[in-house]
Structure 1
């Protein structure tokens, strides 16, 4: 049975973000359209769906590991801080944004708190993510089949 590890990260995250948006279960905070995702950023994200994409990325990251805390996620989503003429250094992302995303994923049952600390994926969340991964793999296979059919038709036309 294919799972999240078998799917390209970008395709999976986009598919799961669309699933979260369509389901309507994930409740967006009021500050989503004005917040920066880190102190090193100059502007807020351009995409109106950035919260869903971040939630999907965090769910995938936690799925691939046993338990993850907010600090590790801040480090993961951090980036280079522009320090003027001095060299750039890594700066962590906003802990509040990561925490609120984790809390909203916890509210819909995808994540649960680990007794040792941090968050881990729940059984329902694991099933949900695996189902999305299978759907992404099936759509990839369909696209490959269509490409092969088009190639076969092009070769027949050349003859």
Structure 2
């Protein structure tokens, strides 16, 4: 089993409820155990004019391979009404693999550590709740990423 961190976000159709439903689904994945979840945070959308997001990070211990887990996460998103109309559009649910054990993954469908996570307070601060002091597989320390990405704009629920 490997420890995997999943970034979670929603800004449509009762976002906090979307995250709670996703957590139930994550807990039912085969060969996987939900081992923790951060607080929920509210943040502004990265794009103007969109509703605010509710975000969290979940910790999983899984025996699934990365692309099998990705497929399972996308099935959960689809089951909760995710429509992929535009890359950065509003969504009922977004589940991203942030870290997968100590693996560096560079596949057409999956990049781990998740690209841009270093600039996203709504990812870093929830991750720090679950894995304080962690060093990413690419050698970056979470503490250093936090220092460069202020808490501004986040509201803990």
Select the structure that is richer in helix: 1
Computing the radius of gyration from Cα coordinates, the structure with the larger value is 1
Q: Name the structure where strand makes up a greater proportion of residues.
A: 2
- Structure 1 length normalisation: TM-score? 0.28
